[in-house]
Amino acid sequence: METNTKILSYLKHLAKGRCTVNRLLRKYRSLSPAIKASLWFVVCSALQKAALILTTPIYARLLTQTQFGEYKVFQSWVEVTLILTTLDIFYSGYNVGLEKYREDRKMYTSAMHGLSIALTSFWCLIGMPFAEYMGPLMRISPTQFRLLLVYMYVFPIYQFWSSRKKYEYQYKMLVVVTGMTTLLSIAFGTVAAIISENKSDWLIFVRVAVEGVIAIPLLVTSVRGIKSLYNKFYWKNALKFNIPLMPHYLSAMILNHSDVLMIDIICGKAYAGMYSLVYSIAIVITVVQNAVSSAIVPWMYKKLRTQDFKGMRKITTGVIGAMALLNISLILLAPEAVAVMGPPEYAEAVYIVPPIAFGVFLTMIYTLFSHVEFFYHNNRFAATASFIAALSNIVLNYIFLGKFGYMAAGYTTFISYFLLMILHWRGLIRCTRKNDASWRDVFDAKNISLMIGGFAVCAFAIMETYRFNLLRYGLMLSILALIVVNRKRISLFVNQFTHTDERTDETSTVRPK
């Protein structure tokens, strides 16, 4: 928690321009290795997100709508297939193991590589002979299906390697490898899109090839000196940890990717590409919201741990209000954003931005609710809530995509996120009651409800201004003026949760009753 606070302090000085370059360098050098590493891990994450945002306008112009849709459908299948084939053992389960078996990390890491390879090989043996059948069933070509299975070997290697580098604060090589992978993927992908005829297949091949070539030495260094990648004890514990989490992982992934896959099935790949392009715009807001969420977690946990609820309602309401304003700004800028991200034939997709932005805004609210749930160890409920929301999204898409076309997916998504928010609100009430706390000390239900209602009215009213640019630009200037006038208040507000007491013993915990 102290680490997050110091990183925020450093970035804030940088943003305000109050430090000279020399002072910034001195401040950076004075940071501990752990804080420096955390700062660079943020940079690595930003690089990966930037690659997606930067390649979208390039590929959208070089590929036809159908080819762009094919590429995006493949990306969605990657996320879903990783859970089914590898159980996502390279995420939370592996991180827990690094701490639990810290004296035997080398053997543990090698065993996890072995388990990932064994699981993927099992599915390859089943899937490869039936590629001609499975590809069309998943609405991708047999070649893409084969590349998908090969990629199941590649992706976990980097994840295991990077997770261990993060755990050991070895950030320099991680930054180099992440930057090199990003640049090579963009460069070779762009060349492939320009010179090839079957552009989507070649883009996918380039992605698998670039990451595969880089993954080989990472695997070699990770398992060097280990005689066997099989370890019964580590394999058994990893399976016991990850298999129960599959419904949660799969539900969350379906909620994020079922729109694209179902649009492809019901409406066609061209429309899947149009929807994906708009969703790529929303990623910018998602990155900001995730950063704000990560920043506020230490402050929230400290308040909950010490049972000091004073001012919490005001801060959480302010954060939600700020994210509402950010998403409203995206809706106002939607025509320009779509014009930058894609050619004119994508212009009609601008009308999906308001419901998608509404859904992104709701994710911030239920994420704040879930922070309190996780503090009180109400983790199991998250899996149930995710499953219900994912199922509702599939059912709604099935009903409305055929009737109203691909744009309906934006509305089914925000309805599903609204349901997920309600479920987390119920979970919040339940877990705070069990621990003799009051959720009303943390969240202001009345103001949050008013903001949700106000957001809905503003979002769909702004849609009517897309044909009247002068009116829309006037609204944007009004928001900018509001921010400038209240900049001091905003700065004071941010300071309330970014300046935590560094003398607090972060390892001590006041357990909930």
pLDDT tens string 31-70: 666 666 666 666 766 677 777 778 889 999 999 999 999 9
> Per-residue pLDDT for 13 more than 80?
no
**407: confidence class by pLDDT, cuts 50, 70, 90:** very high
- pLDDT score, position 113: 94
Lowest mean pLDDT among 21-30, 77-86, 338-347: 21-30
- pLDDT at 148 (0 to 100): 95
Taking the CA atoms of residue 499, residue 501, residue 505 and residue 506 in that order, the dihedral angle to the nearest 10 degrees is -10
Same-domain check for residues 204 and 295: no
Distances (CA, A) of 323 to 278, 330, 363, 416, 472: 19, 11, 10, 19, 20
Question: Residue 483's pLDDT is what?
Answer: 74
Residues 377 and 409 in one domain: yes
Q: What is the radius of gyration, based on Cα positions, of the chain?
A: 23
What confidence score (pLDDT) does residue 34 get? 61
Q: Are residues 54 and 199 in the same domain?
A: yes
Position 14 scores a pLDDT of: 52
Q: For residues 324 and 454, what is the distance between their CA atoms, to the nearest angstrom?
A: 9
With a cut of 70, say whether residue 138 has pLDDT above it.
yes
Last residue in a domain, options 228, 243, 258? 243
- Answer whether residue 305 is part of any domain: yes
Tell whether the model's pLDDT for residue 513 goes beyond 90: no
292 shares its domain with 227? no
Instruction: For residue 364, tell me if it sits in a domain.
Output: yes
**Model confidence at 499: pLDDT above 70:** no
When mean pLDDT is compared over 47-56, 298-307, 352-361, 484-493, the highest value belongs to: 352-361
Give domain status of residue 131, yes or no: yes
Choose from 229-243, 394-408, 482-496 the range with maximum mean pLDDT. 394-408
Q: What letter does residue 385 receive in the DSSP assignment? A: H
Query: Is residue 513 included in any domain, yes or no?
Result: no
With respect to residue 448, please indicate whether it lies within any of the assigned structural domains.
no
In this predicted model, what pLDDT tens digit does every residue of 461-472 receive, in sequence order? 888 888 888 888
Question: Which are the contacts of 276, defined by CB distance < 8 A and separation ≥ 6?
Answer: 68, 69, 72, 75, 260
Q: Is the pLDDT of residue 224 over 60?
A: yes
Take residue 201 and report the two structure tokens written for it.
């297949």
Does residue 502 have a pLDDT over 60?
Answer: no
Mean pLDDT of 410-419: 93
Q: Which of 243, 275, 296 is the last residue of a domain?
A: 243
Q: Which residue has the tokens 């983790």?
A: 379
The answer to the question of residue 288 being in a domain is yes
276 shares its domain with 132: no
pLDDT reported for residue 20: 60
End position of a domain, from candidates 438, 463, 485 = 438
Q: Indicate whether 39 belongs to any domain.
A: yes
Which residue reads 């009903």 in tokens? Answer: 399
pLDDT digits (tens, 9 = 90+) for 289-310: 877 777 677 777 777 777 777 7
Position 461 in a domain: no
192 and 157 assigned to the same domain? yes
Q: Which domain holds residue 196?
A: 32-243
Q: What is the pLDDT of residue 28?
A: 62
**Same domain, yes or no: 423 and 308:** yes
pLDDT in the model for residue 423:
92
Helices 269-306, 65-86: inter-axial angle, 10-degree rounding: 50
pLDDT in tens, 196-222: 888 999 999 999 999 999 999 999 988
Whether pLDDT at 421 is above 50: yes
The per-residue pLDDT for 393 is: 94
- The residue among 280 and 14 whose pLDDT is bigger is 280
What is the average per-residue pLDDT within 125-132?
93
Q: DSSP assignment, residue 450?
A: H
Residues 303 and 424 both lie in one domain: yes
Tell me which of 107 and 315 has the higher pLDDT: 107
Same domain, 277 and 179: no
> Would you say residue 418 has pLDDT above 60?
yes
Question: What distance in Å separates the CA atoms of residue 277 and residue 310, rounded to the nearest whole number?
Answer: 43
Of these ranges, 3-12, 42-51, 179-188, the one predicted with the greatest mean pLDDT is 179-188
| 195 & 289 share domain | no
pLDDT classification of 111: cutoffs 50, 70, 90: very high
Q: Are 77 and 140 in contact (CB under 8 A)?
A: yes
Within 10 A of 471 (CB to CB), how many other CB atoms are there?
12
Q: How many domains does the chain have?
A: 2
Return the pLDDT at 511.
34
Residue 83 above 50 pLDDT?
Answer: yes
Whole-structure pTM value: 0.80
For residues 212 and 345, membership in a common domain is answered with: no
Return the percentage of the chain with pLDDT > 90, whole number.
39
Are 275 and 224 within one domain? no
Mean pLDDT of 490-510: 47
Mean pLDDT across the stretch 214-243? 89
Q: What is the torsion angle, in degrees rounded to the nearest 10, for the CA atoms of residue 477, residue 482, residue 487 and residue 491? A: -110
